[in-house]
Amino acid sequence: MTEPHELTALQQAAALRAGELGAVELVEHALRRIERLDPTLAAFVTLTPERALDAARAAEKLLAGASGTAGSRRAEPGRAEAGSAEAAGLPPLLGVPTAIKDLAVTAGVRTTFGSPVYADYVPEVDDDAARLLAAAGTISLGKTAVPEFGLPPYTEPAGRPATVTPWDVRRLAGGSSGGAGAAVAAGLIAFAHGTDGGGSIRIPASVCGLVGLKTSRGLVSRGPVGGDPLGLSVSGPLARTVPDAAAMLDALAVPVPGEPFTRPVAGGESFLEAARRAEPGRLRIGRYARPMLPELTVDPACLAAYERTSELLADLGHEVVDLDPGTDPAFVEVFETLWAVLAHGHPVPLAAEHTLKPLTRWWRARGAAVSGPEFMAAAQAAHNVSRRVIAAHLAVDVALTPTLAQLPRPVGWFTDGGDPAHDPADDYARQQAFTPFTAIYNITGQPALNLPLGWTEPTDDRPVLPVGVQLVGAPGADRLLLELGASLAAAAPWDDRHPPTW
Q: Give per-residue pLDDT as tens, 136-168.
A: 999 999 999 999 999 999 999 989 999 999 999
Catalytic option among 101, 143, 214, 357: 101
pLDDT digits (tens, 9 = 90+) for 187-210: 999 999 999 999 999 999 999 999
- Tell me which CATH code domain 7-491 carries: 3.90.1300.10
What is the maximum span of the chain, computed from C-alpha positions, in angstroms?
64
Q: Which of 145, 174, 157, 163 is nearest to 116 (CA)?
A: 157
Burial of 416 from C-beta contacts in 10 A (0-12 / 13-18 / 19+): middle
Q: Is 371 a catalytic residue?
A: no
Predicted confidence (pLDDT) at residue 254 exceeds the cutoff of 70: yes
Q: pTM here?
A: 0.96
CB 445 within 8 A of CB 217: yes
Catalytic option among 115, 177, 200, 310: 200
pLDDT digits (tens, 9 = 90+) for 310-343: 999 999 999 999 999 999 999 999 999 999 999 9
Q: What is the mean pLDDT of residues 401-427?
A: 94
Cis bond upstream, residue 310 (ω within 30):
no
Angle between helices 49-65 and 23-41 (to 10 degrees): 150
* C-alpha–C-alpha distance, residues 351 and 353, integer Å: 6
Catalytic option among 115, 140, 176, 206: 176
pLDDT value at residue 418? 82
Domain positions in the chain are: 7-491
Band (pLDDT 50/70/90 cuts) for residue 68 is low
pLDDT value at residue 311? 98
Q: Which of 214, 249, 26, 212 is nearest to 132 (CA)?
A: 249
Phi first, then psi: give them for residue 221, nearest 5 degrees: -60, 140
